[in-house]
């Protein structure tokens, strides 16, 4: 009787683990694109900056975060998001150019924030952060509208 119970338990464990494996295989998502990876780095940087901007004891940390954001912005510049299917020709070029200009604006804002942190101009660094938040919201509204729909203010 004990052997039968052990075998039944073992069979249930195997079935459950097989079920977990098959459902996890179904849940596998596609690998992130290089643009998504760079954007995630920007988003993570913005979250990390909240706790360090304006704190003179965390200048090195702020600089490290800002430098990684600068790299991510320039990485993003090399790519463009999927454009709406109806955009063709000059409209498509304008869409892609607008995105790239936005990424350059982000990179310039981040550089300005770096300079402000280096100079101890904390208020200017915080203004730069607010500017990044506005640019992000506007960019997501135009280039990633599903983000706005799903998450509201992003």
Task: Say if residue 151's pLDDT is above 60.
Answer: no
Please give the Cα distance from 151 to 154 (Å, whole number).
Answer: 6
Angle at 71 between CA 104 and CA 125, to 5 degrees: 70
27-66 pLDDT, tens digit each: 444 578 999 999 999 999 999 999 899 888 999 999 999 9
At 68, give phi and psi (nearest 5°).
Answer: -70, -35
Please give the Cα distance from 1 to 47 (Å, whole number).
Answer: 58
Q: What's the predicted TM-score (pTM) here?
A: 0.72
CA atoms lying within 13 Å on the CB side of residue 14 = 6
Classify 71 in phi/psi space as left (phi over 0), alpha (psi -120 to 50) or beta.
alpha
């Amino acid at each position: 009787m004990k052997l039968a119970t052990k075998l039944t338990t073992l069979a249930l464990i195997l079935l459950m683990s097989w079920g977990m494996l098959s459902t996890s295989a179904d849940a596998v998502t596609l690998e992130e694109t290089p643009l998504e990876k760079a954007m995630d780095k920007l988003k993570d940087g913005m979250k990390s900056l909240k706790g360090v901007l304006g704190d003179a004891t965390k200048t090195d940390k702020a600089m490290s975060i800002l430098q990684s954001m600068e790299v991510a912005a320039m990485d993003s510049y090399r790519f463009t998001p999927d454009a709406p299917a109806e955009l063709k020709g000059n409209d498509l070029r304008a869409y892609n150019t607008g995105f790239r200009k936005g990424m350059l604006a982000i990179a310039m804002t981040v550089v300005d924030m770096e300079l402000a942190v280096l100079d101890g101009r904390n208020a200017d660094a915080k203004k730069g952060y607010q500017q990044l938040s506005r640019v992000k919201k506007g960019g997501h509204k135009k280039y990633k509208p599903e983000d706005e729909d799903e998450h509201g203010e992003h």
